[in-house]
Structure 1
Amino acid sequence: MRCFTVLGPSQTGKSTLVDKLGSLEGSPRKSVSPYGLGLTEFEFGGEAWCALDTPGSGEAIAHAHHALLASDACILCVSTNPEEAVLAAPYLRAIEASGTPCILFVNKMDEPRGRLRDVVAALQDYSNHTLILRQIPIREGDKIVGSCDLISERAWRYREGQPSSLIEIPPDLIEREHEARAELLEHLSEFDDWLLEELIEDREPATNAVYAISSRVLRENRIIPVLVGAASHSNGIMRLMKALRHEAPQADVLRKRLSAGGSISESALVAVGFHAYHRQNVGKTVLVRAFTDGLKQGTMLAGARLGPVQDPGTGKPIASGAASAGDVFATVKSDHLPVPSLLGADAAVDAPNWTNAPTPMMERILVPSSERDETKLSETLAKLAETDRGIKVAQEEGTGAQLISSQGPVHLRDICRTLAEVFHVDVSEKPPSPVYRETISKSSDVHYRHRKQTGGAGQFADVKLSVRPNGRGEGFSFAETVKGGAVPRNFIPAVEAGAREAMDKGPLGLRVIDVGVTLTDGQHHSVDSSEFAFRAAGKMGVRDALAQASSVLMQPIYRVEIKIPSIYSGSLVPIISSFKGQVLGFDRDDKAKGWDIFRALIPGSALDELARTLRSATQGIGTFAKTFDHFEEMYGKEADAIIQAQGAHANEH
């Protein structure tokens, strides 16, 4: 079986394209996973094929990354509008990072919204691979009625619902055809000395030889050929499928490429796990592509026995009983298989880094509708995180509530729907509580005596403490200057422990940071003093000192690294400023042509709004990753409101 992925932005006709390709020589067998990945199996040219149709939402791009892990080649489906080229930028980035040979298909040529050369030029801004036109459209007025192949120099007229008919190249297109063909040959000659010599000697290269060169450079992932058509009318579909059949590499090339990273040898690489999902009453289903013959139930894979091997569309056992090299199959009761991963007989190896999902930007607390589901929710989210690498699961600081990070609102809705429909856990969602701290702005000295008499042995500890502000980021520190044994050495660690406990909650009801405590003097009793008593004295004494040291609210500041197409970089400056952030600058992204990495510092309270604004400003393309940088003071009405809210929250609990 040969396998390819169709990917690209929403509304470019990917699913229609897959349906038409699958129907060229019979009836395709189609299935769709709960995550929106379509899998279509069909026959063409006497070979078995599998097309992976990936969701077009930017929030689901991780599934496109994973599909490429199992694909010999891919088709990038784009629109005819040059201004929408930027929407294809994340997919070009993924394709180049994966090293997957690609054919670019400009779809919906029946609704042209720009010149083809402008579309290709706009897309070239995001591709290190040269985009080479293999066809040019034939126009009659504003309508596209056919295409001309630049290698064979034959023209075809589209016919609704029928194969295109061979025609003469229209006279008014001949000059443009010669120009485009010369450009094609010039680009191909960069990868073939024979062709270069033919062009230098002004000899017309043979058509079959040019086809062979074009096939080779695609298999070697040197260029991206550009074909055109209109899938909804079946225009250009046969030519696209023939290009895949004759020019795309087979599974052995993919196996060699995936093992080139050195994490697993080519001979040890048995299969890849590239997609997984949970089904009610079935459990975890994993989609696998085999690289060797004979994978069946009971085969050792990733160090354990493989579960039942099924047809991914019907869920029935595969007809042959065992998968052959190149086959895509589903397996259940194989929960040990991670996704995405490279699978050997004895172990699973992490998939290459390019399969990683973008850092999830939207954080929400999930609250189960029933108390009995609280434990179940934690277990269920862990299972979901295994099959959807775009999710990050943690616990909210302070409350321990389930905190989930998703790719965006659509992704979050899908997660909640899966929880309800598959796992029967109904949840509501809410924003997480901001993480604030407090510190002090001046020094304070205190004398505290802890004394209790309860009939038996008493409790006695007397301490003199000095509390002072530390520098930002220095945290808590403790020192002692006691002389003459006023506080015995064995009790001093207890004073420090009590002082640390006092940092858990300050006068504002928040954790206290960047404070230094010094034990300067004290008294003890030979019978009633104990570690417990000095710990209590240290804790209460520091609390009293903090209350006199002018508490200040501290807000978290995060360093954000935003990845965006360069055309959006200028718009980020006012966005960051509107969130009271600080722009640190931006650089070209060395890993992706046409992209920038924009860096800034931004208050933690603005992160959620930044995610929404960034999606809006970049048409859903921009992403950011955050790391905590520091806490800084916060004053004014906004600080007063937060302090008041913290006090109300504390009273509730």
Structure 2
Amino acid sequence: MAGGRSTARCAVLVGPYTAGKTSLLEALLNAAGATPRKGKVTDGNTVGDASAEARARQMTVEVNVASCDYLGDRWTFLDCPGSVELGQEAMNTLMAADIAIVVAEPEPAKAVALTPILKFLDDWQIPHLVFVNKMDRANVRVRELLAAFQAVSNRPLVLRQVPIREGDSVTGFVDLVSERAWHYEPNKPSSLIEMPETVRERESEARRELLEALADFDDGLLEQLLEDREPARDEVYAQLTKDLRDDLIVPLLFGSAEQDHGIHRLFKALRHEAPPVEATAERLGIPADETLAATVVKTFHLAHTGRISLLRIWRGGLKEGATIGGERPSGLFRLQGGSSEKASEAGPGELIGLGRVDSLKTGDLVTSAGRVEESGLPWPEPLAPVYAMALEPAKREDEVKLTASIAKLIEEDASLSLEHDQDANELRLWGQGEIHLQIAVERLKSKYNVEVATRAPTPAYRETIRKGTEHHARHKRQTGGHGQFADIKVKIAPTGRGEGFQFHNKIVGGAVPKQFIPAVEHGIQDYAKRGPLGFPVVDFEVTLFDGQFHAVDSSEMAFRTAGRLAMSEGLPDCDPVLLEPICEVSVFVPSDFTNRVHGLISGRRGQILGFDAREGWAGWDEVKAHLPQAELLDLIVELRSLTQGVGSFTWRHDHLQELHGKLADKVVEQHRVEAAQ
């Protein structure tokens, strides 16, 4: 603690896949002396990405936690997955951030991939800066890069540095506030040099642009610029810090994590300009009158320690042996990549793991009184599911274990969800894409020893009839004792789409006793679960208008059987037809990709209903369409391929529509084959 304030802060690394976030984490930890050498993603020896799933894919699949000390300050870095399919991890983790570091590549064409990240940060008013990684490989002009990034940010972006170039290589930078020049040195801090004449004019111009951007938020600085007075350096630093902490501007810094270029400069910017934990707690509305206030940022299920709740402590502290919500944790743990070690206490600003407190859930506020279930604090909603797999345990005895294991996966990642479709008798796992669900399936095996077979889910096909008929059904069976007898006459007719099943009793004179009439209806419904084409029958009505019974041999079971018989014999004469589910879909894409989406929808038998600007998203469109449910199964895969990964959609069932021809024949035949297996 210094001056009554905590020096422990949290920075969250976010950015698109391949931007180099994990490499940047390695460089930061090494620069702080927390590791003797940097690991490499390709070598599988990084502090983060320790899980088998991450190492196999050479990509971050869940948030990595790592801490270090830099010039007397305690820092915790949270490295988030870059895949859009794992976006829930980043959204939840950012709720712990004092500042976010948006890691980007120096390629204007890839700027659109930053849109969802920057939009989330702007919506939640999370202070953030952009670190342009891989500048050692860049051959793009900074002006072009800045323009591309600004097009996807609602906040003004300001250059903190201009690069120094020698030929095609970036060899250093000039800091636009201090106006000092630095030369990159391989694997060590940059060295101070005289500002090259070749960069002086550009530096002067960029510095002026920086000051003008800051002056938009300070009248005193604006007055000095209008009078051509040079503001004091300390004043510029103070205004820059204030504007960043208030999420009014987004500074841009450059470097290369692999070469250690710009890492110490980034660290110093974080140290001087990132908000303290007290400011973040105030921004989030954390109660000021609590002696303890902490948020559950993430839930882990680790192999050796079991369930771990990762908390960001805003106020007060925790000590070993403390009781949380009436439960005593198995311990306090500090997480460092894939390892954990016990801790005796943790204070404001720190992130600490609580072992085996089952009542805690991600997003909960923890106070001295215990878990606050309805804290009123904002928390990101789970992402809407867009992709599903049907699961079946490899071993029948694992059925209960499977659902329990998936429940743990959902605790770790709220963008997963599980449903059981009774009509198809399928257990479906929903998520954000194919890779997302593949990772979940791999974790079921590696963490919980549950193997599953996967396949595409079955669309909710139905069938109906297009004409009516009358049918006479008789069920008669003689046995050694009482026999079985039931005789009914029914009219079968189609109804309007969406009207469902209707049963009418028109029996007069007791031709069928009242106590047997419900059994006829139940028999009809029994058969309607699987009609002539093999699917549930909808939108039809049956009228029972005559029949016979036997005083001894008639029974509810006999009349129920007669009801099934009437349907099985009568429905094939009613011109059965397949119905496929049609969904109303809203597709969200940058406007540059709207025409591609029109082609995508048309190619999937869709009907475009119209499009308009997406509310709250500058430069984006919302395309509405009707699309067969069967065409939604892998829609997200192609949509992301067409939109650099940023396209998304929501959907809901709208209506059923007749399906004819070869497509219908294929669906029916495939269903028959599967039913026979």
TM-score (norm 2): 0.88
Q: Does 1:100 align with 2:114?
A: no
Q: Structure 2: how far apart are the matches of 1:610 and 1:268?
A: 49
Of 249, 252, 261, 1:226 maps to 252
For residue 340 of structure 1, report the CA deviation from its aligned partner.
4.0
For residue 444 of structure 1, report the CA deviation from its aligned partner.
1.3
Q: Does 1:505 align with 2:512?
A: no
Aligned alpha-carbon RMSD (Å): 2.7
For residue 324 of structure 1, report the CA deviation from its aligned partner.
0.7
Q: Is the 8 A contact 1:33 1:277 kept in 2?
A: no
For residue 131 of structure 1, report the CA deviation from its aligned partner.
1.2
Q: Is the 8 A contact 1:340 1:350 kept in 2?
A: no
For residue 308 of structure 1, report the CA deviation from its aligned partner.
0.7
- Residue by residue, what CA displacement relative to the aligned partner does 1:330-388 show, whole Å, maximum 9, x if unpaired? 22222322124433423345897763453343322233333332332222112211112
Q: Does 1:572 align with 2:597?
A: yes
For residue 303 of structure 1, report the CA deviation from its aligned partner.
5.4
For residue 51 of structure 1, report the CA deviation from its aligned partner.
0.9
Question: Which aligned pairs between 1:153-164 and structure 2 lie closer than 5 A?
Answer: 153-164=179-190
Of 369, 379, 395, 2:420 maps to 395
Q: Does 1:15 align with 2:31?
A: no
Q: State the SS of the aligned residue for 1:212.
A: helix
Query: Structure 1 residues 648, 417: CA separation in 2 closer, same or farther (over 3 Å shift)?
Result: closer
For residue 634 of structure 1, report the CA deviation from its aligned partner.
0.9
Q: Structure 2: how far apart are the matches of 1:269 and 1:94?
A: 28
Q: Structure 2: how far apart are the matches of 1:159 and 1:649?
A: 64
- Residue by residue, what CA displacement relative to the aligned partner does 1:60-87 show, whole Å, maximum 9, x if unpaired? 2221112212111110011111111112
Query: Structure 1 residues 327, 351: CA separation in 2 closer, same or farther (over 3 Å shift)?
Result: farther
Q: Does 1:274 align with 2:297?
A: yes
Of 284, 288, 291, 2:314 maps to 291
Greater Cα shift, 112-121 or 486-495: 486-495
Q: Does 1:412 align with 2:419?
A: no
Query: Structure 1 residues 184, 247: CA separation in 2 closer, same or farther (over 3 Å shift)?
Result: same
Question: Which aligned pairs between 1:60-99 and structure 2 lie closer than 5 A?
Answer: 60-99=86-125
Question: Which aligned pairs between 1:438-477 and structure 2 lie closer than 5 A?
Answer: 438-451=463-476, 460-477=485-502
Query: Structure 1 residues 487, 266: CA separation in 2 closer, same or farther (over 3 Å shift)?
Result: farther
For residue 249 of structure 1, report the CA deviation from its aligned partner.
0.9
Query: Structure 1 residues 79, 369: CA separation in 2 closer, same or farther (over 3 Å shift)?
Result: same
For residue 172 of structure 1, report the CA deviation from its aligned partner.
4.0
Q: Is the 8 A contact 2:290 2:315 kept in 1?
A: no
For residue 489 of structure 1, report the CA deviation from its aligned partner.
5.1
Which AA in structure 1 matches 2:256? A
Q: Is the 8 A contact 2:119 2:154 kept in 1?
A: no
Which AA in structure 2 matches 1:637? K
Q: Is the 8 A contact 1:390 1:406 kept in 2?
A: yes
Of 221, 226, 239, 1:200 maps to 226
Q: State the SS of the aligned residue for 2:663.
A: helix
For residue 39 of structure 1, report the CA deviation from its aligned partner.
1.9
For residue 161 of structure 1, report the CA deviation from its aligned partner.
3.5
For residue 461 of structure 1, report the CA deviation from its aligned partner.
4.4
Q: State the SS of the aligned residue for 2:577.
A: strand
1:26 aligns with: 33
Q: State the SS of the aligned residue for 1:448.
A: strand
Of 131, 154, 159, 2:157 maps to 131
Q: Structure 1: how far apart are the matches of 2:264 and 2:675?
A: 68
For residue 455 of structure 1, report the CA deviation from its aligned partner.
6.6
Greater Cα shift, 565-574 or 269-278: 269-278
Q: Does 1:45 align with 2:71?
A: yes
Which AA in structure 1 matches 2:611? F
Q: State the SS of the aligned residue for 2:585.
A: strand
Q: Structure 1: how far apart are the matches of 2:291 and 2:158?
A: 37
1:343 aligns with: 366
Q: Is the 8 A contact 1:6 1:77 kept in 2?
A: yes
Question: Which aligned pairs between 1:519-558 and structure 2 lie closer than 5 A?
Answer: 519-523=544-548, 531-558=556-583
Of 332, 351, 359, 2:355 maps to 332
Q: Structure 2: how far apart are the matches of 1:577 and 1:246?
A: 53
Q: Does 1:623 align with 2:614?
A: no
1:562 aligns with: 587
1:518 aligns with: 543
Q: Structure 2: how far apart are the matches of 1:509 and 1:92?
A: 49
1:242 aligns with: 268
Which AA in structure 2 matches 1:74? A
Q: Does 1:611 align with 2:636?
A: yes
Of 314, 321, 327, 1:304 maps to 327
Q: Structure 1: how far apart are the matches of 2:79 and 2:219?
A: 37
- Residue by residue, what CA displacement relative to the aligned partner does 1:416-450 show, whole Å, maximum 9, x if unpaired? 32222221222332222333211101111223344
Greater Cα shift, 421-430 or 26-35: 26-35
Gaps of 5+ in 2: 1-7, 37-46, 52-60
For residue 412 of structure 1, report the CA deviation from its aligned partner.
2.9
Q: Structure 1: how far apart are the matches of 2:288 and 2:552?
A: 71
Q: State the SS of the aligned residue for 2:11.
A: strand
Of 117, 124, 129, 2:143 maps to 117
Q: Structure 1: how far apart are the matches of 2:219 and 2:579?
A: 66
Q: Structure 1: how far apart are the matches of 2:173 and 2:15?
A: 22
Q: State the SS of the aligned residue for 1:50.
A: strand
For residue 310 of structure 1, report the CA deviation from its aligned partner.
1.1
Query: Structure 1 residues 498, 280: CA separation in 2 closer, same or farther (over 3 Å shift)?
Result: same
Query: Structure 1 residues 82, 350: CA separation in 2 closer, same or farther (over 3 Å shift)?
Result: farther
For residue 102 of structure 1, report the CA deviation from its aligned partner.
0.2
Q: State the SS of the aligned residue for 1:559.
A: strand
Q: Structure 2: how far apart are the matches of 1:269 and 1:468?
A: 68
Q: Is the 8 A contact 1:98 1:354 kept in 2?
A: no
Q: Structure 2: how far apart are the matches of 1:346 and 1:339?
A: 11
Which AA in structure 1 matches 2:273? E
Q: Structure 1: how far apart are the matches of 2:465 and 2:50?
A: 55
Greater Cα shift, 58-67 or 620-629: 620-629
- Residue by residue, what CA displacement relative to the aligned partner does 1:301-320 show, whole Å, maximum 9, x if unpaired? 355333310121242221xx
1:184 aligns with: 210
Q: Does 1:601 align with 2:626?
A: yes
Greater Cα shift, 425-434 or 210-219: 425-434
Of 322, 328, 336, 2:345 maps to 322
Q: State the SS of the aligned residue for 2:136.
A: coil
Q: Is the 8 A contact 2:95 2:379 kept in 1?
A: no
For residue 580 of structure 1, report the CA deviation from its aligned partner.
0.9
Gaps of 5+ in 1: none
Query: Structure 1 residues 443, 350: CA separation in 2 closer, same or farther (over 3 Å shift)?
Result: farther
1:373 aligns with: 398
- Residue by residue, what CA displacement relative to the aligned partner does 1:210-236 show, whole Å, maximum 9, x if unpaired? 211111111111111111222223222
Q: Does 1:496 align with 2:521?
A: yes
Q: Structure 2: how far apart are the matches of 1:27 and 1:515?
A: 71
TM-score (norm 1): 0.91
